[in-house]
A = this chain, B = another copy of it.
Amino acid sequence: MTKLGERIRQLREENNFLQKHIAAQLDVDTPMLSKIERGERRAKKEQVLVLASILNVPQADLLTLWLADQVYEIVKDEDVALKAIQVAEDEVKFKQKKK
């Protein structure tokens, strides 16, 4: 289960959309959307943006979940997961300052 997939499904159901409907706009078949919702496949960034517009939420919201899923996937089985995330976070903060 991915954060993004869960959120997409939640929003889709709130809006009473069928997978068929969303999938068509993403230009994939329903099995693919099903897999994205269940976290079996990763959406493309471009698809995340389209999803945000279909589901009427800010792009940043879904992009955040999309990235968070990828980060989590990398560290999830590691003892040093938290430490690694914090090192990366520090670097992001450092680079942002410089900008």
Contacts and interface: CB of A to CB of B under 8 A. Distances in A.
Contacts of A3: 87, 91
Contacts of A44: none
Which range holds the interface residue count of chain A? 20 to 34
A86 to B, nearest CB: 8
Contacts of A98: none
Q: Please report whether the interface of chain A is mostly helix, strand, loop or mixed according to DSSP.
A: helix
A60 B89 CA distance: 18
A53 interface: no
B87 A92 contact: no
B87 A65 contact: yes
A93 B86 CA distance: 12
